[in-house]
Amino acid sequence: MSSGQALRESALFAGSAMRARAPVCYTPMPEVPIFLSIKTHSPSPLTRLSEEEQLFYATVRQFAQETIAPAVRTMDDEQQLAPGLVQKLTELGLMGIEVPEELGGSEGSFFDAVLAIEAISQVDPGVAVLVDVHNTLVVNATRRWATEDQRAHWLPKLAAGTVGAYALSEAGSGSDAFALQTRAEKAGDGYRLNGRKLWISNAKEAGLFLVFATLDPAAGYRGITAFFVEKGTAGLTVGRKEDKLGIRASSTCELLLDGCVVSAANLLGAEGKGYKIAIETLNEGRIGIGAQMLGLAEGAWAHAAKYAKERKQFGKAIAEFQAVQFSLAEMATEIEAAKLMVYNAARLKDAGQPYVREAAMCKLFASQVAESVASKCVEIFGGNGFVRDYPAEKFYRDAKVGKIYEGTSNMQLMTIAKQVL
């Protein structure tokens, strides 16, 4: 008997013996696919941008550096956007990124919107919120769920600078998003809305609100319905503006609806389909928040690295000390991982592939990275990181909201657990 035959027979005997000793009940391992052939191909890396994407990203970054950066401190102090900034964002095409050209938009991709949010967030995450909510929530909900007539009416306005706001949250329905108290009732050929919304981003600047209200309370979440409500509609009032820890340039206000009547033409989707619109739109919006937190981390890292090269202690730049080098290296590694997750989720969405799990993961992880990197940035700045004359403390303040809005970290974990289990 050859040594090869002996080895095979020995293996077979051992396998038989093991099977004989195995318990009757066992869980087999999932089958692993066997690849019979390997085709040579060169897939594009997730973070490799096409020429068009590179140009778009570079253009938005330059705009952020030249137009937004000089106003960051003032906007943070005054808790409002710089005058004329929305118009400049509109002129650059950032208010209608995915709107078709024939309707006045840029006809870009969802990934383009993610790149824009990331680039702006490197300079001011507060400004990025306006672009994010407007594009990933309001524009996308309109593109997907509106009728042809509604798209023809609203999308040109949104692309031309009418800011959109997404009015879902209420005092008693934050993470429990569908415990809505805002009511809608039939009023002639339209609807009458009554209720109070809280924490509505873009509320001060908005010309159009996407409002969620319960048409049939007895139906639970299946009674939730979505409506377009224009600024200036009788019974609609933008209330108190929140005095926030971070992203202070972004307006966050309460929204009051007191006998606010809208026509049947303002109904988005069918009656009772508001919960589906909200869920599916927020899945996309979470990728936008992931991009915001990614950009924030990148901006904080850039400032920390620059400061470390300039700040001298013991006769040399602190960047020459291994401890600082290691901290910057850890920050860069976390950022790269977050970028891979955000970009992957966005590209899956554009490819029409399932992305709910990836959206939740990228939002969860990117918000953790943003807080970690911003904290380390403050530490590298030392005492200067604790004062408002330097950018570190603002990035640190801005980072915290990433774990809270558009689904808290615990809600993301719930979503991920459902997907993986």
Give catalytic residue positions. Answer: 406
What does DSSP assign to residue 194? E
User: Of 224, 228, 237, which is closest to residue 279 (Cα–Cα)?
Assistant: 224
In angstroms, rounded to a whole number, what is the distance separating the alpha carbons of residues 73 and 81? 11
Q: Give, in degrees to the nearest 5, the angle at Cα 368 between 363 and 372.
A: 150
| CA distance to 78, 155, 161, 187, 244, per residue, from 88 (Å) | 19, 18, 9, 40, 25
For residue 173, the cross-strand partners are 170
Q: Which residue has the tokens 């290691």?
A: 326
Q: Could you tell me the two tokens for 317?
A: 């730049």
User: Of 216, 206, 121, which is closest to residue 166 (Cα–Cα)?
Assistant: 206
Question: Are the C-beta atoms of 127 and 68 separated by less than 8 Å?
Answer: yes
Torsions phi, psi of 212, nearest 5? -105, 130
- Please enumerate in sequence order all residues whose Cβ is within 8 A of that of 108, keeping only pairs 6 or more positions apart, or say none: 56, 93, 97, 98
**Distance of alpha carbon 146 from the chain centroid:** 22
Q: How many CB atoms lie within 10 A of CB 17?
A: 10
The long-range contacts involving 340-345, CB below 8 angstroms and separated by at least 24 positions, are 340/46, 340/47, 341/290, 341/365, 341/366, 342/114, 342/118, 342/287, 342/290, 342/291, 342/294, 342/366, 343/46, 343/47, 343/111, 343/114, 344/46, 345/287, 345/290
Helix (H) or strand (E) holding 229: strand 224-230
Helices (H), 173-315: 274-310
